[in-house]
Amino acid sequence: MSSVSLYEENSEKLADEKFVIQYRPLVKKVSLYIKRRLPSSVELDDILQSGLIGLLEARKCFKPGTGASFETYASIRIKGAIIDFLRKNSWISRNTIKNMRKISNAISVIEQREHKQASNEDIISELGITMEDFFKISQEINVCSLLSLDEIDHDYFISGESDANPAELMQRDNMKEQLKQVLQLLPEKDQQLLSLYYIDEFTFKQIGEIFDLTEARICQLHAKIIARVHSKLKP
């Protein structure tokens, strides 16, 4: 290898290192945001590594002049790479959606029969499962809700509104309107929990301190609320 080629290779490596060092805080920020909403079994190092891959993809694909800053574009790419990692590594089982439907149906049956809100204990009894099983399903539903919401934002941003199918845009708007109406019908405590989690970005542990409940209990309550919302939405 000539001295010129060696110099160019070293220069590229230095430029790559400088780029990674510059945007490492952004990768960490996005990774921590997602980690706070995942089960403790998901390692932060794995999320950071996936986020770094997303950063490098953003550097390769970013086109200046599209109306968005590189930081905004990179944040979406980093988040998308982490979501891909979580999906590929089966943090959500294939039965997660089926289980959420089971819980949704159980909630509907209980509330129509008893004329009251279904408690976690009611759901467990209706489905004939253990508390441990319900907690595991709750964790999966919580991760599923996170990936679904962030995946929509990721795909929508990357493709651009002008490239989106008009029918898909209308369907998305209809779903947002349905969701808004369903959320307004939820009990005040459920609305407060969702607000603390999605708007104020509190962790389940922090919300538990506010409600004087354990982190595990808040995890279950959140999953139950998501399942209740799912049961009220039209297909």
C-alpha 227/C-alpha 176 separation (Å) is: 16
Q: What is the CATH number of the domain that holds 181?
A: 1.20.140
Residue 74 belongs to domain spanning: 1-91
- Render pLDDT for 201-217 as a digit per residue (tens, 0 to 9): 788 888 999 999 888 78
* Residue 214 shares a structural domain with residue 235: yes
- Domain boundary residue among 33, 66, 91? 91
* Residue 193 shares a structural domain with residue 97: yes
* Residue 97 shares a structural domain with residue 202: yes
Is the pLDDT reported for residue 52 higher than 50?
yes
* Residue 50 shares a structural domain with residue 107: no
* Residue 218 shares a structural domain with residue 103: yes
- Domain boundary residue among 91, 124, 149? 91
Residue 160 pLDDT class (50, 70, 90 cuts): very low
* Residue 109 shares a structural domain with residue 79: no
Residue 193's alpha-carbon distances to 63, 115, 154, 188, 229, in angstroms, are 39, 23, 25, 9, 14
* Residue 147 shares a structural domain with residue 99: yes
Percent of the chain exceeding pLDDT 70 equals 73
Is the pLDDT reported for residue 115 higher than 80?
yes
- Domain boundary residue among 31, 62, 91? 91
* Residue 26 shares a structural domain with residue 135: no
* Residue 54 shares a structural domain with residue 169: no
* Residue 57 shares a structural domain with residue 87: yes
Residue-level pLDDT at 222: 87
Q: Is the pTM of this model over 0.85?
A: no
- Render pLDDT for 69-79 as a digit per residue (tens, 0 to 9): 889 889 989 98
Residue 129's alpha-carbon distances to 121, 161, 171, in angstroms, are 10, 44, 35
C-alpha 163/C-alpha 64 separation (Å) is: 18
Torsion of CA 235, 196, 89, 176, to 10 degrees: 30
Residue-level pLDDT at 78: 92
Structural domain count of the chain: 2
Is the pLDDT reported for residue 169 higher than 60?
no
Q: What is the CATH number of the domain that holds 37?
A: 1.10.1740.10
Residue 119's alpha-carbon distances to 48, 114, 126, 215, in angstroms, are 37, 11, 11, 17
* Residue 65 shares a structural domain with residue 128: no
Structure tokens at 101: 């439907």
* Residue 131 shares a structural domain with residue 222: yes
